Structure 1
Amino acid sequence: MSLDWIYFAISWILLRWHALWDMIGIPDDAVLGTNWSWVLAIVFLVVTVRVILFPVFVKQIKSQRAMQALQPKVKALQEKHKGDRETLQKEMMELYKTEKANPLMGCLPMFLQIPVFLGLFHVLRRLNPDNQLTTLYGWTAEQFKDATHATLFTAPIASKFGSSAAELAALEANSTTVKIIAGLLVLIMMATTYATSRQMILKTGWAEDPQQKMIQRLMLYGIPLSLLVSGALFPIGVIIYWVTNNLFTLAQQQWVLRKFPPPPMAGGKAGSSARPAAGAKAGSNASKNPVQPGRSGGLFGRKAQPEPEKPVVDTKALAPRPGAKPVNPKKGTRPANKPKG
């Protein structure tokens, strides 16, 4: 299947934003070693994609809420089918189907952005002075030439950490500068990728479902670590896209989590368990000291006064000592002997 339609779409959005910044008056000439019109075109490519995918992001949040609400049932199934993994998976899939919850919905926005990432990767990889197909995917020869020489702090956006000496020579780039800029961007990309996953997990909690928990661990640790190796193959322009996308995700998640906070059970075990305990204690005290109608005005809005507690009698203190003669309380005291006379 041809992916040309993706390359045309990415190129069209990129070129429209570049034309807008050029019309506003942002120069193509490098300022601080940076061609800001092209860098901003990549940044606002992210904005365009995220606005289009915003409804999908909302569905992702709703799906995560549904998964959180099912955690008690999932835990019950795990206890019931402990040791029988096949039956457990079957029962959980049936539960998800009945409750209309999709465990994979949490990864859907990321999967939908993969074609955009691949499209931008392909478009920027073509930016080479030796490339003769300058008008492919709707570009003009002048736009292709300008983008080929576009830089971020003197490092071409088409270069990468792992660029060969021949590629850097064709782009007229300094190897040390490219490695420093690309290396710093890869580290920022890893840190922001980790931060986006950690932000969501801290707010929603770890999943009880082993499959969901495995996905959470993969997104939290696996993906950022994989970028340490694969990031060397990404053009600087692609890393700019990735970092901007992560920052956009952090802001979007913060807004959504504040507007639609997760249920208490997902926010933290300590807070959710403390409230029922207090309620149970209050309920037990209420059962011991019920409010009597007509006493202390409890039915008329005033606070009901608890009944005075009866003094506790120490039965051990009243018990006779070992060896002492029993005392008969019915006989009373013995009269004193009268003098003879």
Structure 2
Amino acid sequence: MAVVYGTISAILLFWHGAWQMLFGDAAALGTDWAWVLGIVFLVLTVRGVLFPVFVKQIKSQRAMQALQPRIKEIQEKHKNDRETMQKELLELYRTEKANPLMGFLPMLVQIPVFLGLFHVLRHLKPTMPEHMKTLYGWTVTQFDSASSATLFGAPIAASFRSGAQELSLLGTDGTTVRIVAAILIVTMIATTYLSSRQMILRTGWAENPQQRMVQRLMLYGIPFSLLVSGLIFPIGVIIYWVTTNLFSLAQQTWVLRKYPPPATGAPKATAAPTRAAASPAHATPSPARSLAPRPGAKPTTARKGAPRG
């Protein structure tokens, strides 16, 4: 994990240095914007690198959606022979270039980034010995600057559950930290729910009960779990989470327009006859109706050559 921590630190320090050239060390609205924007652009860097993977994920999901009828057919055909079923499914995925695991790849790649940032920000404590401050490529000056950086007066290294002693060392009070952290936690939960909901709408609700249960867990379980875990997240980590959720919402909106879900269902074969039946003026009369005399009509004469009674 040291490589991950070092990589995350390098990206964060790069963007902090870039924004510091513009803003210097000045703070506005109780916020050290060079550090806050450094975290925001850390997200944009990671998501930008993962964007080609994300496009492949969408294409793979679309391929999987198109293959659902054939997948069900194979599963039904070999429901008593799992080995043959798996072989035929793998062959189908290979020939159609669909990967059912592709949907999890972007999320799996982001987990080490999130854990790395969580560790680095938890590491930012003013009482840290000097030899520990220079871990992961930091200088003492950078470490001291980050450990005192704030968002609207709340240190980015503090969390909702930070104790009085830790807050005193960070030079702040619990009220400010809890207000800022609470607003960010609510925003994090809301954007996580919206992002999960948009993803489900993008792929559609699964017909399989187990898969649908997983979707419901993502939609409701993960946001609810953040209500608890968000209390221990440093404010800087919540900034990261909210930013990546907003990026996901924008990215998925673009995807829905660029790669719309495949149309499901075909027009009903009975639609045309139904419209014809609804318009008697255009209906073709049946032989029985065409031969039946109309009320008040003169009887027709017998055809030439017909026998007379």
The higher relative CO (CA closer than 8 Å, separation ≥ 6) is in 2
Unaligned runs of at least 5 residues, structure 1 = 266-271, 287-304, 319-329, 333-341
Aligned equivalent of 2:90 = 97
Match of residue 116 from structure 2 = 119
Partner residue, 1:61? 58
Normalised to the residue count of structure 1, the TM-score between the two structures is: 0.75
Report sequence identity in percent: 60
* Structure with greater Cα Rg: 1
**CA deviation after TM superposition for structure 1 residue 28, in Å:** 2.2
Instruction: Tell me if structure 2 keeps the 8 A contact 1:28–1:35.
Output: yes
Give ranges in structure 2 of 5+ residues lacking alignment: 296-306
How far apart, CA to CA, are the structure 2 residues paired with 1:238 and 1:146?
17
Contact 2:74-2:89 at 8 Å conserved across structures: no
Going from structure 1 to structure 2, the CA distance change for 1:225 and 1:103 (only over 3 Å counts) comes to farther
Where does residue 174 of structure 1 map in the other structure?
173
Equivalent residue of 1:103, what SS?
coil
Which of 27, 34, 40 is residue 30 of structure 1 equivalent to?
27
Displacement, 1:41?
A: 0.2
> In structure 2, what is the Cα distance between the partners aligned to 1:36 and 1:105?
36
Aligned to 2:15: 17
| Larger mean Cα displacement after TM superposition, 223-232 or 36-45 | 223-232
- Mapped contact 1:34–1:151 kept (Cα < 8 A): yes
Offset at residue 217 of structure 1 (A): 2.3
Deviation at 1:72, TM superposition (A): 2.2
- State the alpha-carbon separation in 1 of the partners of residues 195 and 108 from structure 2: 15
Contact 2:71 2:89 (C-alpha < 8 Å) held by counterparts: no
Structure 1 residue identity aligned to 2:9: S
Q: Decide whether the 8 Å contact of 1:186 with 1:228 is kept in 2.
A: yes
Letter of the 1:97 counterpart: L
Give CA-to-partner distance per residue, 1:5-48, whole Å, 9 cap, x none.
Answer: 1111111111110111111x213222101111100000000010
Deviations, residues 44-90 of structure 1 (Å, cap 9, x unaligned):
00010011111111121112112211222344466668xx7xx4865
1:113 Cα deviation after fit: 0.3
Instruction: Identify if the C-alpha distance between structure 1 residues 307 and 38 changes in structure 2 by more than 3 Å, giving closer, same or farther.
Output: closer
TM-score by length of 2: 0.83
Aligned residues: 285
Aligned residue number for residue 312 of structure 1 = 289
Which of 68, 72, 76 matches 2:69? 72
Query: Using a 3 Å threshold, how does the CA distance of structure 1 residues 219 and 94 change in structure 2: closer, same or farther?
Result: farther
The aligned runs of 1:141-220 (5 Å cut-off) are 141-220=140-219
State the partner residue of 1:323: none
Residues 42 and 229 (structure 1 numbering): CA distance in 2 closer, same or farther, change over 3 Å? Answer: same
Match of 1:106? Answer: 103
Confirm or deny: 8 A CA contact 1:13 1:45 kept in the other structure. yes
Instruction: Measure the CA separation in 2 of the matches of 1:236 and 1:146.
Output: 16
1:106 Cα deviation after fit = 1.3
**C-alpha contact 1:32 1:153 (8 A) present in aligned 2:** yes
Q: Residues of 2 paired with 1:228 and 1:32: CA distance?
A: 27
